[in-house]
Chain A
Amino acid sequence: MSFAKIALRNIPRRKLRNSLTVLGIVIGVALLVGVNIAAESSFVEFKNYIEAVGGKIDIVVTTVSGVPFEQRKVDASVAGLGYAQSAGRLGEGGLIRHGGQAKAVSVTGVDTVKDFEYRGYTFEGSGNLRRNDATISQRMSEDLDIKIGDYITVQMARGSTLSLHVVGIVKAKIATGYDVYMDLGFAQQKLGYVGRVTYAIVHVLDMSKVSEVRRILERNLGESYNVRAIKEQTIATWEGNLAGWRQGLTMISTVAVLVSVGLVLNTMYMNLGERTYEVGVLRAIGARRRDIFWLFFSETIFYALIGIAVGVFAGIGLARVLYSLTSIVSMFGAQSTGTLVIRPEYLISGGITGLLSTIIGGFIPSVSASRIGILNALKPGIRPPGKQRTAVRLLLAGIPLAAAGAYMSQSGLDFGMLDIVFLIIGLVMVMSGLLRVAEPLIESALSPFKAVGKLLSKNLGRNLRRAAITYAIIAVCVSFIVMMGGMRVGMMSSIGDTITEYFGADIIVFSGTSLPTTFSKSIVQIDPARIQAVTPAGTTLTKSGKTEIGIFSIDPDTFPLVFDRFEFSADTPKDVYNQLKNNLYSILLVEPLAQSLKVKVGDQISVRTPTGSVKLTVIGILRGFGLSFAQMGEVPMSQAAFISLRTANTYFVAPGRALRASIFYVKLRQSSDTNTVKNEIHDKYGETYDLQMITIDDLMTEVNDNVGQFFVVFDIIIYMAVISATGGIAATMLMTVNERRREIGMLRSQGMSSAHIFVLVLAEAVFLGLVGYVVGVVAGLFLLRGVTVLMSTTGLIVPFLVPWERLQFALLLAIATAIIGVAYPSLKATRVNLIEVLRYRG
């Protein structure tokens, strides 16, 4: 038998209190374990998805200008390596009319002998392609009712017409678009690109050598070519995104960990308070101070062990929920398998964090227990009253601590848990000090409530440490609610501003295939009364030196009619669009690109073209805070440049090919109904050109939903911490009621009703909630400021906006938490047996 045994047996003594404490630990551990498992599972599933979608295609080679190139160049580089194979494809858009329907299709010429990807497809019918043969995608077959043996006619973008015999249907595992495959040689002949392909695909047999092959191809092919390891790049991009996401989730989960520290601290102090006499007896019969320390500390360890064991299992269950909300593949429209990837290190790290947080919470009370004087412990009558911490002491201690926390959180350097701890503890001490000062005021404010008010005002100053820990627990939760609310509001505002600034159009029309730029006039003709202007945008990728540039080819006449809110640098001339229109050698750069190229207005840059390169003069620099994370199509805005359609036609389009656009921006006249025009466009051209349309409202809704979903996971985590905090209040008030049983008995014997007792206890808990709320709001606003500063250092500008709705919600939550937590203790207080407690010798 040992002190650990005594500790273990003490755990069931206060079942409800100890259960609530262990619940807090369980929640903290479960969140940490669940977040990590969910994130890892999501990423592994995504990797598998990319492998499935990408098939055997590890690298894709294209020219920078998009012009078809000689396949042998790629084959030569790959042939020398024993572990890679290549194939060329010739792709072009077209239009098919079949069975009364017209659809835009993607036509791809493939070498059925060498194309490893095509050979891996499953076919209904035959996959072999002779001159006029074609295989089509399953979706195309179903939607257009095309069967094996049918003949189809495809109007190609460059004008030629192909008449093809359908010999097979491609059974794809992943949903595809409208695809037509034909013999490569025949396609090259019909489209006038003998010996050329629009892109080459490379499969690397040894996955670990993909990067090496990519580098070899880049070196051999030169800067005119884009060599992309698609799968590797996509996975690397998402791995980076997910790391940031996981870090954010883990940080938010610390709120539950902090709450559990507070719960353990409070519970251990309450246990100590109840068992002070027992400590005296043990010391009197010879127990050493360290024996007492280990008696209490062992209890803490047992809480930890139970909490960790349950928490780990709960975390695995929670991971399923979080996984369903954070699945990457579902963002791509695929069905998530829901298979969890459980790595031991996540379970261990969750367990260690749970153990550490419990140890932190239990250490100081255990030390306090070991330091109790024997006489004071044995003789409650001579026990000195608790240390009276005066207002001055509290303020003197709290202000520097709060200031340090505020300063650290604003510096944006290393925003973390220490800032939060200092800030919360400091503010709690300051608030406690202010409440001490305000005691007479509080008493006077509560005096209308007579006996209940008088008692409440006196009780509020009792047991400061217990009250302060409870404020802190609530404050931590509220501060995170405020911080996350502010971030959401700020992000929505930032994204909203970007959308309205840079997507000045009311409707954005995307075509499944590139269309002539004159299509913009066709759109205006649909409803000129409502449609003010339509401007096309073509996109092409090129390079200046080694810097990739996304070129937007625009119509300088109509572009400013739609995008009328762009801001330019001070040295950009006022007639920039005229210059763009009249000068074939002019280019507009966005600010980040200009900085990256180290050029200013008036400088020249050399830009690659299909036939070589051209020197263009920078006539303007475009500014805006949204440039850092906005995209137009696949091109990040931070690498965008604008040229006129004429310039594009002259330098960036292969001879014989007219510049085409796949995006059309539609600006409506004032008070025109967006949905009416959207429907009109769809009715006229939607099916023919496979148009997708999005209005600004749709965009804002989609962004709102995406941002909302992003924050749902954070909200779940915070609410779980709130559950812990509710448990903390319940445990605190249960202890309070237990301690004051005799007092309650006396009040009842003096005539106070049960209802008054109920209100007294309830009011005390609500007061705790309100104080915690005020501290939490102040801390939350500081933390929000800190987070926005930190984000700005990464280039993401999120304005500091006070989330007023969230503040109201947090207030209701703080009060609700207090009321729910105190419901049972209040009820218990009304059921105190008068005779029993008045006879009780405490």
Chain B
Amino acid sequence: MQSEIVVELINVTKTYRLGEVQVQALRGVNMKASRGQIVAIMGPSGSGKSTILNMVGALDRPTSGKVIVDGRDISRMSEDKLGQIRRDSIGYIFQFYNLIPVLSAYENVELPMLIAGIDREERSKRAHELLGLVGLSDRAHHRPDELSGGEQQRVAVARALSKRPPLVLADEPTGDLDSKSGMQVMTILRDLAKKELSTVVMVTHDHQMASLADRILEIRDGTIVKETEII
């Protein structure tokens, strides 16, 4: 069965200039991810995994090659159009300081929908639904400093999925959590993504977390060196 391709990188390179030195973070990366698939990217520090995430997440543009997200080539898009992509098509989960500290859990989940211009009724319904799915209905009005690390990341998962984005990016989502909380968060992310048919591309150091993915890509020195399908 041929699944719809949500993310595709075609021969993508990325070079950074740090002072006098040029650093090639990506050297001709090719990858695909289908709808509903969970892809984990692993590699040592400085291998380029975060750079791939930046490309896919419309946070940065490649030096060469193509990045196609949800059928649109975003490689040479303007900043405004990239912003549009981020609003409409991508959800983010960061390692820490995901949430806006002055907003409650409910308001944090609601925020991307507000930015996207979704009406109040729809926002409210969706936010409550997602908080229920992540098991935090009773904590909806608590602020981040009143939630544990794991609870905060669960809220971040709910927020990332609030707009029903075709693509969710997670940068070390469990990096700051203990293994039990981390497993809990990953499980919720996986289950929700499958339910919502969102593709998840995540960067992780943790093999245990990576094992929850459908595919694992290993990257070294800016190139994907190994691809493993998890059955």
Contacts and interface: CB of A to CB of B under 8 A. Distances in A.
B57 interface: yes
A285 B115 contact: yes
Given A9-B102, A10-B102, A374-B59, A285 B97 contact: no
B83 A281 contact: no
Interface in A8-38: 9-10, 13
A120 interface: no
A288 B83 contact: yes
Interface string B76-90: 000000010011100
B224 to A, nearest CB: 21
Contacts of B97: 277-278, 281
A286 to B, nearest CB: 3
Nearest to A287: B115
A375 interface: yes
Nearest to B162: A285
Contact of B115 (A9, A286, A379): A286
Contacts of B96: 841
Nearest to B112: A285
Interface in B70-128: 83, 86-88, 91-92, 94, 96-98, 100-103, 107, 110-112, 114-116
B112 A286 contact: yes
B159 interface: yes
A113 interface: no
B60 interface: yes
Contact of A286 (B54, B83, B102): B83
Nearest to B143: A9
B116 A282 contact: no
Interface string A284-306: 11111001000000000000000
A6 interface: yes
Contacts of A283: 83, 86
Per DSSP, chain A at the interface is helix
Nearest to A285: B112
Given A374-B59, A375-B59, A285 B86 contact: yes
Interface centre among B114, B116, B159 (most CB of A within 10 A): B114
A9 B100 CA distance: 11
A286 B86 contact: yes
A10 B112 CA distance: 19
Interface in A253-284: 277-278, 281-284
Nearest to B60: A375
Contact of B100 (A2, A278, A291): A278
Contact of B92 (A6, A277, A278, A285): A285
A378 B86 CA distance: 15
A281 B97 CA distance: 8
Interface in B41-55: 50, 54
Contact of A6 (B59, B102, B112, B116): B102
Contacts of A277: 97
Nearest to B80: A288
Interface centre among A9, A282, A291 (most CB of B within 10 A): A9
Interface centre among A10, A284, A288 (most CB of B within 10 A): A284
Contacts of A285: 86-87, 91-92, 111-112, 115, 159
Nearest to B57: A284
A1 B114 CA distance: 8
B100 A286 contact: no
B22 to A, nearest CB: 15
B170 to A, nearest CB: 12
Contacts of A841: 96
A375 B107 CA distance: 24
A285 B50 CA distance: 17
Nearest to B163: A286
A288 B98 CA distance: 18
A196 to B, nearest CB: 87
Interface string A744-782: 000000000000000000000000000000000000000
Contacts of B116: 286
B94 A378 contact: yes
Contacts of B114: 1-2
A6 B100 contact: yes
Contacts of A287: 115
A291 B87 CA distance: 13
Contacts of A6: 100, 102-103
Contacts of A286: 83, 86-88, 112, 115-116
Nearest to A288: B83
Contacts of B94: 281, 284, 378
Interface in B151-169: 159
Contacts of B88: 286
Contacts of B83: 283, 286, 288
B60 to A, nearest CB: 6
Contact of A282 (B54, B91, B100): B100
Nearest to A384: B18
A785 B9 CA distance: 69
Nearest to B83: A288
Interface in A474-491: none
Contacts of A10: 102
A228 to B, nearest CB: 69
Nearest to A7: B102
Interface in A820-842: 841
Nearest to B88: A286
Contacts of A282: 100
A306 B16 CA distance: 46
Contacts of A375: 54, 59-60
B117 to A, nearest CB: 10
Nearest to A12: B102
Contacts of B91: 285
Contacts of A13: 101-102
A277 B100 CA distance: 10
Interface string B21-62: 000000000000000000000000000001000100101100
Contacts of A278: 97, 100-101
A284 B100 CA distance: 13
A452 to B, nearest CB: 32
A2 B102 CA distance: 12
A282 B155 CA distance: 15
B86 A284 contact: yes
Nearest to A291: B115
A703 to B, nearest CB: 59
Interface in A36-92: none
B112 A1 contact: no
Contacts of B60: 375
A747 to B, nearest CB: 26
A84 to B, nearest CB: 72
A129 B157 CA distance: 103
Contacts of B111: 1, 285
A1 B107 contact: yes
Given A6-B102, A375-B54, A1 B92 contact: no
Contacts of B100: 6, 278, 281-282
Contacts of A284: 57, 59, 86, 92, 94
A1 B112 CA distance: 12
A18 to B, nearest CB: 13
A735 B59 CA distance: 30
23 contacts: A1-B103, A1-B107, A1-B110, A1-B114, A9-B103, A10-B102, A278-B97, A278-B101, A281-B98, A281-B100, A282-B100, A284-B86, A284-B92, A284-B94, A285-B86, A285-B112, A286-B87, A286-B115, A286-B116, A374-B59, A375-B54, A378-B59, A378-B94
Interface of A: 1-2, 6, 9-10, 13, 277-278, 281-288, 291, 374-375, 378-379, 841
Nearest 7 pairs of A and B residues by beta carbon = A286-B87, A9-B102, A286-B115, A286-B86, A285-B112, A284-B92, A374-B59
Given A285-B87, A286-B115, A378-B59, 19 more contacts: A1-B110, A6-B103, A9-B103, A13-B101, A281-B92, A281-B94, A281-B97, A281-B100, A283-B86, A284-B57, A284-B86, A284-B92, A284-B94, A285-B92, A285-B111, A287-B115, A291-B115, A375-B54, A375-B59
